[in-house]
Amino acid sequence: MIRIIVFINTLLLATVCHAEGFITRLLNKPVQGGVAVVALDKETTKPSVYYKDKPVLVIHEDNKQWIAVVGIPLTTKAGTESIMVKGQQGSYTANFTVAHKDYREQHIKLKNKQQVNPDQQNQQRIAKELKLQLAAYQQFSNRIPSNVMFDLPVTGRLSSPFGLRRFFNGEERNPHSGLDLAVPQGTPIKAPADGEIILMGDYFFNGKTLFIDHGQGLISMFCHLSAIDVKLGQQVKRGEVVAKVGATGRATGPHLHWNVSLNDARVDPAIFIGKFQY
């Protein structure tokens, strides 16, 4: 009898795993700073979905069902969260659970004191630049992402991971909002998916910076660049060279800092390259 029960439970588990599509298996990492994939079983046509009043990426998975791909801010508390679905069945909420994740600390020494405690003039510059970048993260286009299993923009060692609590000269600052890849100066950076260049600039903290809109609030940001090889508004293809690695802005040496944003939430890029670790 016990063997029969175990067999049935195993069969049920296999059926559940089989029912999950590729995107769900890849992206569903519902932790602070992660991604939640919510199945929209009621919908046969594409609905509009919102999380914290911001539009959410919706994809038709494996030609079977619509799913909402939700970016979870690092500041989200563990527990139950809700999305608002507006579809053919009217408006309703769907829940998902956010799990706690611990992120380690990183201590960095900087010789340039202005990059730790900027003076008033630099603070004004930083505020203007931050406004531009936040507006870019908040863009939501109708483009369907060409792929959500991203290509690595550069081939190199994954150095500083996402979510680190960062201390500059002993003073805590914002957590690490992206993934650092340790590669030499001048290494070509390739677009991880199709997209449009929506912002570029040379900023106080980020140095030379580039934003790519992959569609529906899925956005890549690359910074500390030595050169940018594209123009504002340009359409780029997956694998196309868009910039080169540098050490501009607040950087201690050449590397690529890569942000991924979903519904204006910075999330762990490792999720999109199959390298996420709990």
Q: What is the pLDDT of residue 3?
A: 43
Q: What percent of the chain has pLDDT over 70?
A: 85
pLDDT in tens, 169-180: 445 456 778 999
* Predicted local distance difference test score (pLDDT) of residue 112: 65
- Report CA-CA distances (Å) from 226 to 155, 156, 208: 17, 17, 7
Contact 261, 209 (CB under 8 A): no
Average pLDDT over residues 206-217: 97
Q: What is the mean pLDDT of residues 124-139?
A: 96
211: left (phi over 0), alpha (psi -120 to 50) or beta: beta
Rounded mean pLDDT, 138-166:
91
Query: Is 191 in a helix, a strand, or coil?
Result: coil
Among 28-32, 127-131, 134-138, 249-253, the range scoring the smallest mean pLDDT is 249-253
Q: Is 257 a residue whose pLDDT tops 70?
A: yes
pLDDT of 70-95, one tens digit each?
A: 999 999 999 999 999 999 879 999 99
Give the mean model confidence (pLDDT) for residues 94-114: 75
Whether 19 has a pLDDT exceeding 80, the answer reads no
pTM, two decimals, is 0.87
